[in-house]
Structure 1
Amino acid sequence: MNTIIAFILMFGLLVFVHEFGHFLFAKKAGMLVREFAIGFGPKIFSIKKSETLYTIRLLPMGGYVRVAGEDPEIIDLKPGQHIGLTFNEHNQVKQIIINHKDKHPNAEVIEVEGSDLDHKLYIKGTLLGESDPQTFKVSETADYVMNEVETQIAPFNRQFQAKSKSKRAMQLFAGPLMNFILTVVLFFILGAFGGIPVEEAKIGDVQPGSPAETAGFEAGDEIVEIDGHPIQEWSDFQSIVREHPNQELTMIVLRNGSSESINVVPASQEIEDMTIGQIGVMQYLESSLTRAVPYSFEQTYEWSKMILVNLGMLVTGQFSVDMLSGPVGIYDATDQIVQTGFWNFIQWTAALSVNLGIINLLPLPALDGGRLLFVGIEAVRGKPLSTEKEGLVHFIGFALLMLLMLIVTWNDIQRLFL
């Protein structure tokens, strides 16, 4: 149960922060945000505030912010069509009722002759029972009502495509940016309160029943020499222990200002077809508010670099798709990490956050990076690609991503259960 709660909270935080970035910058740019969704599929919770519908959906595999104009608008009035109109106190159309007009007894029914709901905001038509057409001014916040579901119209100045290239690019980049910011914040919390690994070979926790406990190591011991070799950093100590499974090592440690000699035999452990030595100690952690700031940026940079290197290996074939993990694999890893403690879980969340930010910036259709690529192409061409062509590319890209997700999830299931 702890793992389920941790996974939901972690995934919800990552998706919320990412989508909130898109949402915030869309609002700042004056775009109409139709929906802010966490998850995909059927709605399990929804509430509408102002002009935005906030939803939580059944499948916790992501989320989205639906901005007017990113996809073709569904509002289309045809000549000869009968619709109902209701009006506000300024005698402007506030509702355009497409069907079930009988449920709106106060609506005026007209036969449409023409309309412009993007720029001039009017509907021209003839009231039933009359012969002379009229032009009705439409409010910028009017609702289009189909099957009793209201959808606010989006004048062109509120649509994604109406904004400058810089505003559109910033709105697309804002999601990954918020993931990077979250990563920095989490690593700061980790460094300030959980602790930062010190450079020296200083021991933190000693695992119960481990070779280190049997040999007499204590938290706070600093290893300065192993079998006559001086030890400068934790990595020096770690390398020698790993290289000597089942072999006795003599270590000189500093304890309370004095030196002591301790003999220990590292236990052997099999990791990826390799046998390594371990004595069962953790690196010493030091909590520091002042060091936490540079530490947060350093860790964000190091994790980003590692993810980019692995992506490069994937592209060049040095890294197999079979080695990727999907939601099932991430859940399994989260289960193992939760057992090791709260601070390891915070580090895992930070790592996934920077990973989400980088993956979304890849220039692939349906991802933020793919949409940014189209904005860049528009800047070079001097005009945008047609909405239909761009929509088709993103649809195909999304389908391929879903296929990849299914393959990765199946591989996760095979590794864990078959």
Structure 2
Amino acid sequence: MTFENLNISAPILKALGQQNYTTPTPIQEQGIPVILSGKDLIGCAQTGTGKTAAFAIPILQQLAGRPAKKPKAIRSLILTPTRELAIQISDNFTAYGQYLSLKHTAIYGGVSQFHQVKALRNGIDILIATPGRLMDLLQQQYIDLSTLEIFVLDEADRMLDMGFVHDVKKIITKLPVQRQTLLFSATMPAAIQQLADSLLKKPEHVSVAPVSSAAETVSQSVYFVDKKDKEKLLSRILNNTGIARSLIFTRTKHGADQLVKLLAKEGIFAAAIHGNKSQNARQKALQGFKVNQLRVLVATDIAARGIDIDELPHVINYDLPEVAETYVHRIGRTGRGGNTGTAVSFCGTTEKADLRSIEKLIGFKLPVATL
């Protein structure tokens, strides 16, 4: 199976070729034909499965192939929970649509709205937005969604976790009844299923992996270590393994900042990204990590699904997450695109119940590691 077999248009195939994309992933292979047919879709796919391309490619093809209802009309809305994801999705639309005349922009909080409003006034076809900033600009009447043709609710379960469902329901009231709706979620709890039932009309269902599974290309293990000894263990791992880049997850923003200071004393260049950091600081840190200026990126779970880095070899759970599903999303940052990856977790005495929940979810006991 190739993208040619999916009846993708020549301009998009050319753009995909420049990204070295020739073979669609399962979510793309199953989802693209459904979306191109105009049907609603529920896609259940874990992080790292190529989900963004699964909706971006057919949206670009559909909009390019038919006229807009009116000039400067917003024709597609992609609603996503975090700034990082909005930027990542926007970058993908840029890559896949580079040979089309469609315009898109991303709007999100944490930065001035000036340039976002300017782009909206100039006219765009595709809007990528986080709920808060979208609500702000809707209330200021900078955005009209009455001509919308395709609505995408991305990372629906993450929306629920972050408390955005109320905003999402308000936004839905601004959309035309006649539209194509696509909902993507890594997990399908009852609340998301209820939301889907209210949003979609006779949707097709595509599920490409059990929600409890991590990529088979990720090697997983756990260290049992007292909380006071975690710093020492982390230093030994980073200094002894020779791994070029590591993404480290902590539970708290304060913990992330403290860890960066500790690593600096060890001569290891690191930066933290979390909700208290400005958008510019977060993007600078992420870019520095991508180009190997930083060896370590320390993140809270706000970034667990918003970091898309090719060939990231190493994820460390410095603190175990309290929600077992979050573990799968965290370690899904590595082992992407067919590459292998390593995920190690630190488990303190007070975290053993969290570890049991994780092992129950993934269906096996993590191998115990020692130095």
TM-score w.r.t. length of structure 2:
0.22
The structure with the largest strand share of the pair is 1
Q: Which has the larger radius of gyration?
A: 1
Of structures 1 and 2, the one scoring higher in RCO (CA 8 A, sep 6+) is 2
